[in-house]
Amino acid sequence: MKTAQRIQGLPPYLFAEIDKKIAKAKAAGIDVINLGIGDPDQPTPPHIVEALQEAVNDPATHRYPVYQGMPAFRQSVASWYNRHKGVALDPDSEIVALIGSKEGLANISQCYVDSGDYNLVPDPGYPVYSIGTMLAGGEVYRMPLLQQNGFLPDLDSIPTEIAQNAKLMFLNYPNNPTGAVAPRSFYEDVVAFARQYDVVICHDAAYSEVAFDNYRPVTFLEIEGAKDVGIEFHSLSKTYNMTGWRLGWAAGNQIVIEALARIKSNVDSGVFSAVQQAGITALEGPQDCIFAMQKLYAERRDVVVEGLHELGWDLERPKAAIYVWAPAPEGCTAQEFAAHVLEKAGVVVTPGIGYGQYGEGYFRISLCVEKEQLITCFRRLKDAGIRYS
Ligand SMILES: *Cc1c(COP(=O)(O)O)cnc(C)c1O
């Protein structure tokens, strides 16, 4: 039973290797604290859970949903954009519901990429951008996210021949894994680039509401002309601790949205209507759960950044997202460092290479564990003599 080439080309799941090491450490009696998982540890706010319970009692939700998403859900997304971002969207033609944004991020390449076409993909980055490209038979051009550029891609360094043959550009700010944010001027350059080379912009805004210290991330769709050149992917996963529910959306250019909806209508049958109903409650209900979420992550971030400072790291406090991205100490790869930290302190960090070749030399700490656990981690690192220099 020989699998297809495209399956053979898929890298082993990043965390599979780490999971093996964790299992081994646990078997050896080490108490492991996992700072590798980017999945909110807090439950979904109760009023959203209740909305699902109520919706599921209505037999109308038991039938196939509307492919593009319930009109009421799309309307609620449009109102949300209007209220929070000052962006006007037509719910009928400019929004499609997704089974989590990852689904749309994978499927969008099927809409635009033919064999040999390029997609411009941030590196390090969320793996689905490059995987989706490869599954569609396309080529990945890696845009390095370098610290000296604030972890933004340098658009001027993209070779002209590549830009001319590129179909999509993936972007993601606030960024996983680097925690970087993008200024308005960057998005303006992106819109100009997209116009010049006829590239569709796919902005992944999964962390747009996860921001700290009164910082408010700019979203791509807020930029003038953005709707002419691309779409934005959004998700309830991080904003409302709903990763398991699988609900997101794409919004923006109507031609791109129509293409994505067309592919989807041929391979899936949409999001469970009761989940969409709960999504409406999330978007339109009380938003104080967001402030609580932001406060919680900001406190954890401070523990991590201060802990790293104390061990000799020099880094800034990320303004958004749920990660701290830090360089491995001189003289060891991030993988060696991660293995050392697991063995000596029972702490799991993710080596940056898992997010692409330009992630080498870095590791990622996720803020999805309790503050007390984080404090314990740093006490252990200190006791184990682990330092940056
Ligand atoms: C968590 C995350 C998402 C959200 O994915 P869903 O499929 O909506 O759960 C999207 N992009 C990035 C970069 C993420 O880290």
Which tens digits make up the pLDDT trace of 290-337? 999 999 999 999 999 999 999 999 999 999 999 999 999 988 999 999
Mutational test site, ligand 1, from 15, 41, 131, 176, max ligand atoms within 8 Å of CB: 176
Could you tell me which residues are beta bridge partners of residue 351?
A: 363
Ligand 1 centroid–CA 119 distance in Å is 19
pLDDT score at 375: 98
Fold for 46-284, please state it.
Aspartate Aminotransferase; domain 2 (3.40.640)
Give CA–CA dist 257/215, Å, rounded.
30
Rounded to the nearest angstrom, the distance between the alpha carbon of 57 and the centre of ligand 1 is 29
Residues 74 and 337: their CA atoms lie apart, in Å, by: 46
Omega cis (within 30) before 124: yes
Work out the angle between the directed axes of helices 101-112 and 128-135 (0-180°, nearest 10).
Answer: 40
Q: Does the CB atom of residue 178 touch ligand 1 within 6 A?
A: no
Instruction: Check residue 13 and give its pLDDT.
Output: 63
Q: How far is the CA of 388 from the centre of ligand 1 (A)?
A: 30
Q: Is the CB of 235 under 6 A from ligand 1?
A: yes
> Where, residue-wise, is CATH 3.40.640.10 in the chain?
46-284
Q: Is-contact 249 95, C-beta < 8 A?
A: yes
Query: What is the rounded distance in angstroms from the CA atom of residue 325 to the CA atom of residue 310?
Result: 16
Q: Which CATH class is domain 5-43+289-383?
A: alpha beta
Tokens of 20: 């093996």
User: Is residue 203 within 8 Å of 219, Cβ to Cβ?
Assistant: yes
Please report the pLDDT score of residue 5 as a whole number: 85
Q: Is 38's C-beta closer than 6 angstroms to any atom of ligand 1?
A: yes
Ligand 1 atom with the smallest distance to the CA of 103 is 7
For ligand 1, what atom is nearest to the CA of residue 102?
Answer: 7
Question: What is the pLDDT at residue 147?
Answer: 96
Residues of the chain with CATH 3.90.1150.10: 5-43+289-383
CA dist list (Å): 386 to 324, 363, 377? 17, 14, 11
Q: What number of H helices and E strands is found in the chain?
A: 14, 12
126 CB near ligand 1 (under 6 Å) = yes
Q: Is ligand 1 within 6 A of the CB of residue 34? A: no
Note down pLDDT in tens along the chain; length 389 residues.
888 888 877 777 666 778 888 999 899 998 999 999 889 999 999 999 999 999 999 999 999 999 999 999 999 999 999 999 999 999 999 999 999 999 999 999 999 999 999 999 999 999 999 999 999 999 999 999 999 999 999 999 999 999 999 999 999 999 999 999 999 999 999 999 999 999 999 999 999 999 999 999 999 999 999 999 999 999 999 999 999 999 999 999 999 999 999 999 999 999 999 999 999 999 999 999 999 999 999 999 999 999 999 999 999 999 999 999 999 998 899 999 999 999 999 999 999 999 999 999 999 999 999 999 999 999 999 999 999 98
pLDDT at 14: 60
For the whole model, what pTM was predicted?
Answer: 0.97
Q: Specify the residue with its C-alpha closest to ligand 1, atom 14.
A: 206
What pLDDT sits at residue 9? Answer: 72
Q: Indicate whether residue 217 lines ligand 1 (CB < 6 A).
A: no
**Distance between CA atoms of 256 and 363, rounded to whole angstroms?**
35
Contacts of 280 (CB under 8 A, 6+ apart): 51, 72, 73, 76
Residues 35, 348 contacting (CB under 8 angstroms):
yes
Q: List b or e across 55-72, with b for residues whose CB sees 16 or more CB atoms inside 10 angstroms.
A: bbeeeebeeebbbbbbeb
Residue 104 beta carbon below 6 angstroms from any ligand 1 atom: no
CB-CB contact of 352 with 177 (8 Å): yes
